Each structure stands twice: as structure tokens, then as C-alpha cells.
A and B are shown apart, each in its own frame.
Chain A
């Protein structure tokens, strides 16, 4: 039986946690953290996640992944 994404009903590839869209959101979050650190001088990962969850410009999938990371205390890979 095929496995489902941690955040939606979509199927996932072998050895993946997220579907294509949520994985892309995750990768974009990681990439953006570097840009945010440069913009603010210093910002913690949690503070960054809080800010992108609140920003109306953030995509829905980005907010879902950010919440998932916070809830599960995941660190940046």
C-alpha cells in the first residue's frame, strides 16, 4: 500500500515524508531561512517560522510545513 504525505492525502515517493508540493515548501523554507538571517543579521529558526506563519504572503503549504516543524521540534536538516 502506498504511503501518504504527513500533511495531506497525496501519495509520497519512497523515503520521503512529504508529497511533491509540501516537499517543495519545505525546501523553500530552508532556502529562505538563509535570506532571513542575512536580512535581520540574526534570527532564530523558531522566530523565523513564527514570522512566516503570520505573513499573509506565505503559501498555505509553507504555513502547514512550518507548523509541522514547530510542533515536532524538527531542526534544520
Chain B
């Protein structure tokens, strides 16, 4: 009997594939070196379905090298457990797959169909399965539903997708060359100068991304507002009060604004024109990953990484299609009606889908973006086997409603505008009404349009201005990035990939380059960007990164050679690294100073001591090992103010102030739990009042 080894990306996917390909529904589960795998029969074939846990092989320095040595230009692909610490599980997976490969006559790469999936499968076939990549076939699918998996198995690609593999290898190799050399240059410079170790990193995509944040921070920190005035007015129309807008929304000079008030206050105007317009709001396109991440942030405040992780879980439970897609297309082959019929089994969507069926035909409003490998994100229609977590339920509902809305009819809106003349000044009265909600009712509660109805109005009608006044306003600084707006900018600028952008943003937080949800650049990030600009500006140049990105994209389509791109990257990087190496001391000094400053800031509370006005600090007691907020006046023996702090978890000071007492808020992060944000001062006040109540009750 022929034995085929099928390699999947994750254990959950392996189980789905085994279940789908088993001819009698029987799936035998085995465990080898703590690695699960499955065996099923399919016709005359014995199928062994095993999996990786993400990448099992990584790029590393060729041969043995010191972890701090740089520059390094020679690299090789090695098992991940030999490259990174704490990868014991990966070692066991490789061992298990190597043994299973010995039993196999044929091989299939069934990892996710994209650059990363193709690369994961290829490396396992080449190294763990001893060169099986040359005879392996490729399975291509976008959902883990039994129907699609069986189809994919029937229509296997005859060989591996080498253009995707080469593109993946190139990306990893170039990123490694940049990351290892630049990060080591920074880390080593700081370590050699101060004798202390701090992980500093900068990379091909990380550099330009950090530069966006630093440039924005500079604009915010140096922003000087200028005043302007807006005219606020209330008019009486058929006994009802309405707000009329002045023709010019911003008035730059106070004198001009005051004159308008003088001319119009308690005066009668006349409607000189009435216009109405009906227009259509088309349904939204189906979700690609970035749009899903933007929408999830808008409604639930999930970071891009959280949304991606949740979407991955939903995909591995076969509830949605592959989420790492940039497509906004829904081909009819996915079976619209079949999916909607299955979704209808859920009472939550039954009524909406019935309304959709009243429409003439089912045609999605597709967007422009495409992806050669996958369609847009859509629900498979399969009902969850286990109860979804709160967060999973939210993302799932958003995807389902977006999918339904995309088939809806356009929303019809009517806008009305009346022009009022008073003493040579022009005001507008504006109204809007929804004539047909169309797709908007399917997308509720994620979008609702407000109506602002005007009473019947006609030309020549008199309008009395009951109130006209000026309001002083200031120009606003540009907004700070949040993880989602940064992700959007990265996509617009063409840097990073849909699969890596969220992780890069996360790294910026982990390195201490940014803090808070509204991203604030720390002094460390200012210094890193300044050094990069001084010694190797090309590295943080968006155009240069984009060029490299385009080259790598071309490899995916077989239009460029991997070797050429890697060599080009080395040639660009070499002079920069040589320059950094020659200025180690200068760079080390600059970085060490700022690292000290950042570390000090981590422990300095902005709010002054309420007793003596001195600086408050987060102090760790030498006696008890406990942390608390203490007054710096303590060392002079003049103040004993202190506040207790939670002892477990990673503590950070936020830039937010407590709305109750104005004290600087803190955040506690414990792995696996949602971060806790609290005010140390109010917390102790509450605790004291509770204690007081308990004591009184006891008495």
C-alpha cells in the first residue's frame, strides 16, 4: 500500500485534513516525540498527516559564530532549535517528521498557501524529509472545510511552488542580514560603552516604520496652535430651532468674526436657494486582512496582532477562510448560496439572510485589491463546534455581517441644502435623510447613519437668527498613530507584508521605542533614528525599502532572481555597517545616555508628591523585595508618602491621568490576562474605605 506523508502548518489544520480525507471517517491519532500526527485510509493509500508549528528552520550565520559578532554576510538555513533558545518543541517535531518520512513513498505540502506556508513546507521536505521536496506535490486551499480539502486533494499541483518558496527565502535572508547586522551594531556599541546589555533592534521594515512615528512625534512636540473662530448660530424655522452653518468654516481674524456676529445677531434672513440631491452609498467590499484589522480596531479596539491571532483561530476551526489575504474578491465558486444557507441555521443571522434572499440576484460588491492565492475573508457557514470566546465571537460576527452586507443593495440618501442670506452674509441649513437603508441594515450595529431632517422649506421664506456668536478654536496637531493607522500607512507605503506588519508594530512596543495605544515615541527611538540618519540614512528610507519590497514581490511571479536581490541587499548594507562599526564608541555613548534616561523615566511618576511636591518614584524595597510608589523626599528624611502597587505582572506608567484624582495611571500586564489599568491613588483610597466598612461591620 502506498504511503503518503502530508505536511501541514499547524496541528489543528492537520486534524481537519485527516478528517476530510479519511474515506470511512476513521482518524487514528498517534504521538511521536510529543508530536501529534494522524493516519487515515483513502482508497488504496495510507495517509500520514503531520504538522509543523510554524517555521521549523531559520536563517543563521554559516558555521559557528559568536552571538555578538558582526558584520556577518554568510548565512545558512538551520533547524530553529539550533538558532533560537527555548525551541525544544521544534526539535521534537523535526525528529518525528524525519522518522515518519522514512515510511513514506509520496509527499504533499499542505501548509497555508502563501509565501510563508510554501517555505515552511519546503524546508521540512528538503531537510527533515531528506530531499523529498523534488518529488513533493502541493495542496492548495483557502478554507479548512471538508469539501474544499477533498477538492484540493483531488487536484494536487504536480510540484512545489518554487517562485513562492524563493520569494519567502529571499525575504527571510534579506531580513536576517539587515536585522542581525544593524541590531548587533547598536546592541554591541551600547554594551561595549556601558558594560550593560540592552536589546536594541532595527531592521529593513522596522527602521522606516519607526521613522514614521518619530517624525510624527516631532511634529506634535513642536506644534504651535494658531487661533481661529467659528460662527455658531441658531435659527428659528417654523417654530423649531436649527443650527445654520456660516459659509466659511474657519475665520482667521477675530475682528472679521466679530463683525459677522454684529451683522447677523437677531436679524432676519431669507432663503435664496434650496437644493436637494439623491445619492447612493455602495455596499462595502468584503474584508481583506488590513480592512478587517482596521474595522476590528474601530469597533472593539483590538490591535492588528490580536485581530490576526483571533482570525487565525477562526480559520483553524474552519469557520472562516484564510485570513492572510489582500484580496477583496469573492469568486462565485465559493458558493454564495450554500454559505448563506448554512449561516441561516444560526438564528442570529436568519432574518437578515431571508431579507437578502428577497433581492433579485446575489452579487457581491467586490473591491479592487486582489491576491493571486486567496479570495477575500468570508465565513464558511460551518457552525462552531465549541463555544467561541467573547473576542472570537466579535470578530466572527463582524466577518459574517460584512459578508452579508457586501451582497446588499446600495443605501439611498437624500441631502438637502438651503442657502440663507442675511445682511450680505451666507449661511447654510443642511439636512440628510435615508430613503432606502439597503446594505446598512445588514451591517448593523457596525454602521448606522444619522438622519438630520429639515422641515419643508421654500425660496423666499424668512428665517430669524435668534443666536449668533463666535467660538474660539485652535488648530490641531497631527494625530498620533495608533497600531491600526500605522498598519494602514505601512500598507499604503508598500513596506512589510500583510503577514508581518502587525508583528513589527508589536516589536516597537517590546523594544521600548514606543508606548501607549496612541503611540508616543520614546527618547530612545529619537536617538536610534538620529543615528541611522547620520550613519546609514538609506536603511530608514521608505523608498529604498519599497524598492527592495518590489524586487521580492517580483520573485513571487518568477520575474526576478532571489540571488540578485540578496546580493543587492548585501551591497547596500555593507558600507552602512562598516561606518557603524567604525563609530562604535560614539554610537555607544549616545545610546547609553538615552537608555539610562528611558530606564529612569520608567520609574519616575509624573504626578508630584501630594504631601511635599517632590518627585514620586517606583521603588523596590531592599528589605521585602516589594515595589511601591515612594517620595524622593524620603532620602532627605522629609516625606514618607507612599502608595502600594500590585506585586505581580509587568508594570508600566501610562501617559493617561486618573479622571477622578489626576494621578498618573499604571498598567499591569500578566501573561494570558487582559492588561489591568488602574490609578494607584484611587485604588488605595477604595481599599481603605472597604477596610473601614469591614471594620465597622465587625464591630
A57-B474, A57-B475, A57-B476 in contact; A39/B227 too (CB < 8 A)?
A: yes
- The 7 closest A-B CB pairs, nearest first, are A57-B225, A32-B224, A59-B221, A61-B221, A25-B222, A59-B223, A24-B222
Cβ of B582 under 8 Å from chain A: no
In the bound complex, residues from chain A placing their C-beta under 8 Å from that of B255 are 41
**Inside 8 A of A60's CB, which chain B residues have their CB?**
221
Q: Please indicate the chain B residues that have their CB under 8 angstroms from the CB of A29 in the complex.
A: 224
Q: Quick check: B225 and A41 within 8 Å, CB to CB?
A: no
**How many contacts A-B (CB < 8 Å)?**
64
B interface secondary structure, majority:
mixed
B518 at the interface (CB under 8 A from A): no
The answer to whether B222 and A39 touch across the interface, beta carbons within 8 angstroms, is: no
Interface residues on A, range: 20 to 34
The distance from the CB of A65 to the nearest CB of chain B, in whole angstroms, is 9
Main secondary structure of the interface of A (DSSP, over half): helix
Interface residues of A in 39-77 (CB under 8 A from B): 39-41, 52, 55, 57-62
Q: Is the CB of B253 within 8 A of A58?
A: no
Q: Please give, as numbers and ranges, the residues of chain A lying within 8 Å of B221 by CB-CB distance.
A: 21, 25, 59-62
Within 8 Å by CB of B225, from A20, A25, A55, A61, lies: A55
Q: Complex Cα distance A59/B147, Å?
A: 58
Which size class do B's interface residues fall under?
Answer: 20 to 34
Does B228 lie at the interface of the complex (its beta carbon under 8 Å from any beta carbon of A)? Answer: yes
**Contact: A9 with B227, CB < 8 Å?**
no
List residues of B whose CB falls within 8 A of some A CB.
218, 220-228, 252-255, 474-477, 526, 530, 590, 593-594, 597
Question: Which residue of the partner chain A has the closest CB to B477?
Answer: A57
Contact among B254, B477, B594, B597 for A59, CB-based, below 8 A: B477
A52 to chain B, nearest CB (A): 6
Question: What is the CA–CA distance of A55 and B594 in the complex, to the nearest angstrom?
Answer: 29
Within the complex, which residue of B226, B474, B597 is in contact with A9, where a contact is CB–CB below 8 Å?
B597
> Which of A's residues lie within 8 Å of B, judged by CB?
9, 11, 20-21, 24-25, 28-29, 31-32, 35-36, 38-41, 52, 55, 57-62
A21 touches B218 (CB 8 A): yes
Which residues from A are CB-within-8-Å of B530? 20
Give the Cβ gap from A54 to chain B, nearest Cβ, in Å: 10
Q: Least Cβ distance of B491 to chain A in Å? A: 28
Are the CB atoms of A38 and B224 closer together than 8 Å? no
A40 to B611, CA, bound (A): 41
Contact across chains for B226 and A39 when beta carbons are under 8 A apart: yes
